[in-house]
Structure 1
Amino acid sequence: MKTVLYFTNWSIYGRQFHVKDLPLEYLTHVLYAFANINPNTGEVYLSDAYADTDMHFDGDLWDEPGKNLYGNLKQLYLLKKSRRSLKVLLSIGGWTFSSNFAPVAANSQLRANFVSSAVNLVKNFGLDGLDIDWEYPKDSQESANFLLLLKDLRSGLDDYANSISPLNGLRRKFLLTVASSCSNEVYKNFNLRECDKYLDFWNLMAYDFSGTWSSVTGHQANIFGGEVSADSAVRDFILAGINPEKLILGMPLYGRSFTNTGGFGQKYKGVGRGSWEEGIWDYKALPLKGSIEYLDKKHIASYSYNPSSRIWISYDTPSCASLKAEYIQNKKLGGAMWWDASSDSPLSSSRCLVKTVVHNWGGLESLETSPENRLIYPDSPYIKKLYDL
């Protein structure tokens, strides 16, 4: 099984969550979010130089000669050295930067610039591949351009892989994945089978099904039922010819709140406070004081409600995560993905959702351990020094 966890570069600030805090032994893939795109040139570039490459952590020196890599990307590379089954991918886009995809994907020269700059980031910073998070291509033309972008990226990554020495006699490919909506209104425009030719796996964003845009309270991450559900997306992808093992089921590590409401499926007024933005609570802060947690087995969803404050919050609880782990196994899917690392309860807690899912699969032995990650990047000005540490 794969366990895929998004780690955001901004988590090192107010959240004070760092690479060292990742639940390393429970992970097969880390998606580092997010790189941005220049819509005028097509260049993919790191969005926060301080967090990504400059911040010094314990053990980093201030007087090293030559070019040196620091920041989160150094820490992630060192994690790869300590756990050879771990793959680190750079995620490009996300909600904030997604508007920059469309003009680039529509132009062959800008696509070429996108590919060369993205592959250079893989070369320079010791990454195992790229994750594309375009939220979302708005019509069939943008979806067709998205396919062209994936095709060009696959070619660019393969060309780089073929240009460097094999690992242990084997030509090791670099990974290419996407974060995909579970809404049929989005993926109906895609030629899923064609896109799949260029991808190693799909990260299904099986969350944000309800929120401030909804007229009544509703589950935000249900497996069954509702206008949007994870299961309907899974079935559609499989019907389109996607191998279930290439589908990774996404789960939220946060809750969406609704205030002044009588409960599930009822009118509400406002979304209230949150951990970092209104209406969004870190999972580790839940349930709020005075709230009771409930499990909806029919829809495989969970929530909390406080009848006094009249606050209703949709999020995954450990009992819900356990049912989702069973669903993944029953459907023979490839694993689980979570957004985002900083919001889970710590491994020491029985409420840690990443740990809960892995234990329901049978423990650490259930996780994918091969092939090994790549540590040697001959074109990087930084990596040889880190490799020799």
Structure 2
Amino acid sequence: MDGVDFSQYTHINVAFGIPRRDGSFTFEDDWALPQIVGQVRAGGAKVLMSVGGWTGSNYFSEILKDGAARERLLSSMATYVRDNKLDGIDIDWEYPGRLGNTCNAVDPQNDAPNFLAFLKDLRARFDSDFGAGQRLITLAVRVQPFDQNGAPMGDVSEFAAAVDYANIMAYDINGPWNADTGPNAPLNFDAGKGTPLSLVSAVDAWTKAGWPARQLVAGVGFYGRATTAQQDMTRDSTNQYQPQLHDVPLGDSEDAPWYDACARTTSTSGTWQWKHLRDQGVLTAPDTAAAPWIRMWDDTSKTPWLFNRETKTFLSYDDPDSIRIKSAYAASRGLAGVMIWSANMDYNGELVRAARSFGNATAPAASSPGTSAAATSSAETRTSGATGAHSASTTESRPASASATEPAHTPSGGPTAGGACDSHNTYQCVDPSGRNAAYLVCVNGRLIAASCARGTVCLSLQSTIVCGWPALRGLVLGLDSLLGAV
């Protein structure tokens, strides 16, 4: 728990409660939960227990087909929330109707309908025990809707009606399991290269299947994955998709060989947490690599990548620039906010501040790459126990309203939403005179409309914009002039 500023989040998911075959579940750090809840609540956030996870989803399929086990899971969730004074349950089933961990039971035909029936009953149980809408039910989901009979479902609207929101785990999309290197968490994917999935395709898939955008949260990773390329990738530095070996290199100082009891294999993960990219000197600044590492930027995935020519190590990760772009995209699509895996992986708040650029309301709303802003956002974090390691976290921000204390004024001939743009993650006020709440963000080559919070207006300040009260307009514009004259 040390080093995490919970005031930057609105929800913390404590991870993971592990279901047993009989429907009960256990959290190995139960003894520390009161302390965790106290620290989180002191920061102003809600607390949920996340049940499942990659290695904790073995029995979901079997539990939901067994009447007694199913009832025990419903009861154990309600009891756990009541006894520990939690705000709800987060279910991380990886994955209904699709194999995740090798040990997981899977029923391609019945998992999804059984899950829907369970969620409806859990909602009824929570509403009965605590009052209608008084406890949260959230889900961690993959980048495609739940599978049934070997394909993603075309209609998941009933699931959305039973829960509060779903966190899209838009990471681990490419990795050492692929033939080629590729981005861990792309905003967009390159057709014909790597896995054809991304944050953009995920939002499209879920909303097309009937899940309301306002109940979706975009997941970003505070870590990267290292793999070993077969050749010097700097010979084609614009191409992050090059042949790789399946031998995973050691990651950061917390990585080590681990035994997968299901696959009966031992390997390293190749994971680099953001904090160790920074404190182990791989990155001397958020956008600057130390030799022998070389930093590149991919303009389709909107993510950075590193290459070490001495070891042929490729490392795909997210940084403040890429996270701001994803946050802006999530806001432009009307999503509820941004989810993080995981809060303990941050370094001096560099990444959470970038994530909180979603729905800016008070401090600098945006700026050129390298700076970031506070915001009135809602956030969620999953935490794992007494060691202080946050197994998952979320920054969930609510979009700001598009109103100001003065009538909106849109000058003719200026930039408009949907127009082309060149520089990623750059921001501009629609009306530089400071009479409008609206601003534009360059995302994926086009301008996306966004807005300051109710009562504030967009104010230009050199390459930076701020969302401030109209009374500050003269001061800000005067400061802009002074800076320009220096």
Does residue 144 of the first structure (1) align with residue 125 of the second (2)?
A: no
Which structure is higher in helix share?
1
- Worse-superposed segment, 285-294 or 135-144: 285-294
Secondary structure in structure 2 of the residue aligned to 1:31: strand
The Cα shift of 1:191 comes to 4.4
Moved more, 317-326 or 118-127: 317-326
Kindly indicate whether the alpha-carbon contact (under 8 Å) linking 2:181 and 2:229 is maintained by their aligned counterparts in 1.
no
The answer to whether 1:247 aligns with 2:247 is no
Is contact 1:34-1:90 (8 Å) kept?
yes
* Equivalent position of 2:71 in the other structure: 112
Asked whether 1:87 is paired with 2:46, we answer yes
1:52 maps to which residue? 30
- Residue 37 of structure 2 is aligned to residue 77 of structure 1: yes
**Once the two structures are superposed, what CA deviation does each residue of 1:38-78 show, in whole Å capped at 9, x if it has no partner?**
11x211222x1xx331xxxxxxxxxxxxxxxxx1x212332
1:265 matched to 2:241? The reply is: yes
Once the two structures are TM-superposed, the CA of residue 24 in structure 1 deviates from its matched residue by 1.2
TM-superposed CA distance for 1:286, in Å, is 1.8
Residue of structure 1 in register with 2:377 after alignment: 367
The residue matched to 1:151 in structure 2 has which SS?
helix
Q: Kindly indicate whether the alpha-carbon contact (under 8 Å) linking 1:209 and 1:220 is maintained by their aligned counterparts in 2.
A: yes
Mapping for residues 332-351 of structure 1, pairs under 5 Å: 332-347=334-349
In the alignment, the residues of structure 2 paired with residue 122 and residue 157 of structure 1 have an alpha-carbon distance, to the nearest angstrom, of 9
* Structure 2 residue matching 1:258: 3-state secondary structure: strand
Is this contact kept in 2: 1:284–1:343, CA < 8 A? yes
For normalisation by structure 1, the TM-score amounts to 0.76
- 1:1-389 map, 5 Å: 18=1, 20-39=2-21, 41-46=22-27, 48=28, 51-53=29-31, 71=32, 73-84=33-44, 86-137=45-96, 138=98, 139-162=108-131, 173-183=134-144, 186=147, 188-189=152-153, 191-225=155-189, 226-261=195-230, 262-263=232-233, 264-269=240-245, 270-275=247-252, 276-277=255-256, 278=268, 279-286=270-277, 288=282, 289=290, 290-347=292-349, 352-359=350-357, 361=360, 362=365, 363-368=373-378
Q: Deviations over 1:92-146 (max 9, x none)?
A: 0101110111110112322111010111110111100000001112223111111
Structure 1 residue matching 2:167: 3-state secondary structure: strand
Q: For 2:119 and 2:209, how far apart are their aligned partners in 1?
A: 18
Question: How many residue pairs end up in the alignment?
Answer: 316
Equivalent residues of 1:140, 1:189 under 8 A apart? no
Q: Which digits, 9 at most, give the CA deviation of each residue in 1:128-170, with x for residues without a partner? A: 00000011122231111111221121111111113xxxxxxxx
Name the CA distance, whole Å, in 2 between partners of 1:300 and 1:317: 10
Contact 1:219 1:314 in 2 (8 A): yes
Distance 1:364 1:25 in 2: 11
8 Å contact kept, 1:112–1:152:
no
Asked if the contact 1:34–1:91 (Cα under 8 Å) also holds between the matched residues in 2, the reply is: yes
Cα pair distance change 1:211/1:368, threshold 3 Å: closer
2:23 maps to a residue whose letter is G
**Cα-to-partner distance string for 1:221-250 (whole Å, 9 max, x where unaligned):** 001114111111101211222221111011
The question of whether the paired residues in 2 share the 8 Å contact of 1:87 and 1:128 is answered with yes
**Corresponding residue of 1:8:** none
TM-score where L is the length of structure 2:
0.62
| Partner in structure 2 of residue 377 of structure 1 | none
- Is the contact made by 1:295 and 1:319 (CA closer than 8 Å) also made in structure 2? no
Tell me the secondary structure at the aligned position of residue 113 of structure 1.
Answer: helix
User: SS of 1:98's equivalent?
Assistant: coil
CA distance in 1, matches of 2:309, 2:41: 50
Q: Which amino acid aligns with 1:34?
A: F
Answer 1 or 2: higher relative contact order, Cα 8 Å, separation at least 6: 1
**Structure 2 CA distance, aligned partners of 1:114 and 1:151?**
13
Question: Which deviates more from structure 2 when the two are superposed, residues 239-248 or residues 261-270?
Answer: 261-270
Q: Distance in 2 between matches of 1:190 and 1:319?
A: 34
1:83: Cα distance to partner?
3.8
- Determine the C-alpha separation between the residues in 1 that align with 2:184 and 2:144: 12
| Partners of 2:51 and 2:92 within 8 A in 1 | yes
User: Which ranges of structure 1 fall in alignment gaps of 5 or more residues?
Assistant: 1-17, 54-70, 163-170, 370-389
How far apart are the structure 2 equivalents of 1:27 and 1:190?
Answer: 33
Distance 2:375 2:177 in 1: 41
Identity %: 29
1:82 shift after superposition: 2.4
> Structure 1 or 2: larger strand share?
2
